[in-house]
Amino acid sequence: MKLLLDSTRCQGYGLCQEPAPELIDLDEWGYAQLRVTEVPPGEREAAEAAVATCPNSALRLVK
């Protein structure tokens, strides 16, 4: 499973990083940056929570 980020939709709220700190970093302005694109098996729930938390739908999961 891959975690994808559409950086043009990210508004820098930083909410996605809270449930998935192992997958997502924030830059100096609070915009999301992916640490990995391939989601490890133990991080799937965190990735799903990050996607659900993003108010701008900047994140998505694909198989």
What is the pLDDT, as a whole number, of residue 62? Answer: 97
Walk along the chain (63 residues) and give the pLDDT tens digit of each residue.
Answer: 999 999 999 999 999 999 999 999 999 999 999 999 999 999 999 999 999 999 999 999 999
Amino acid identity for residue 57 in this structure: S
Determine contact, residues 32/59, Cβ cutoff 8 Å: yes
State pLDDT tens for residues 6-16.
Answer: 999 999 999 99
Query: What does pTM read for this prediction?
Result: 0.92
- How many other C-beta atoms lie within 10 A of the C-beta of residue 8? 7
Closest of 27, 20, 29 to residue 54, by C-alpha: 20
Helix (H) or strand (E) holding 52: helix 44-53
